[in-house]
């Protein structure tokens, strides 16, 4: 016959030692996706003058909100972006940053890689004034 007093402590020890860790990873489709783009400016009244890149935009084109991240423009880190909801954008004026006349514009969204994304390869953009700026045409006299 088995002694019940001996079985109880052994059973308790076995239950106390068993632990499991389950990692739950979000589906890639349920992540944010930060992308970069630029816009150009020119004054149509100033024909013969070169237009230029006047701003860069970071967009969240993913399926989830993005938490805090840092944007770097031409090697200068901007203040942290605390949140970027799905479909939302944030624009940085290169005129205000005194970078509008730079020959190259380089932008990196999430430079510290703090936001897990569906596509980490579209966070960077580099545009040269040679390909992104243009000469504003003058109207042909009639």
Is the pLDDT at 131 greater than 70? The verdict is no
Residue 94 has a pLDDT of 87
Residue pLDDT, tens place only, 115-128: 999 999 999 999 87
Q: For 120, phi and psi rounded to 5 degrees?
A: -85, -5
**Looking at per-residue confidence, does 100 or 75 come out higher?**
75
- Predicted TM-score (pTM) above 0.75: no
Residue 115 has a pLDDT of 96
On average, the pLDDT of the chain sits at 79
């Amino acid at each position: 016959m088995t002694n019940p007093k001996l079985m109880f402590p052994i059973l308790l020890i076995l239950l106390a030692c068993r632990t499991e860790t389950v990692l739950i990873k979000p589906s890639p489709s349920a992540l944010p996706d930060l992308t970069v783009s630029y816009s150009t400016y020119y004054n149509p009244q100033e024909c013969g003058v070169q237009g230029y890149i006047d701003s860069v935009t970071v967009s969240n084109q993913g399926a989830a909100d993005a938490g805090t991240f840092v944007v770097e423009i031409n090697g200068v880190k901007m203040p942290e972006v605390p949140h970027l909801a799905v479909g939302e954008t944030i624009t940085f004026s290169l005129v205000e940053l005194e970078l509008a006349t730079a020959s190259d514009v380089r932008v990196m969204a999430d430079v510290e890689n703090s936001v897990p994304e569906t596509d980490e390869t579209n966070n960077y953009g580099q545009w040269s004034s040679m390909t992104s700026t243009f000469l504003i045409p003058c109207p042909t006299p009639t």
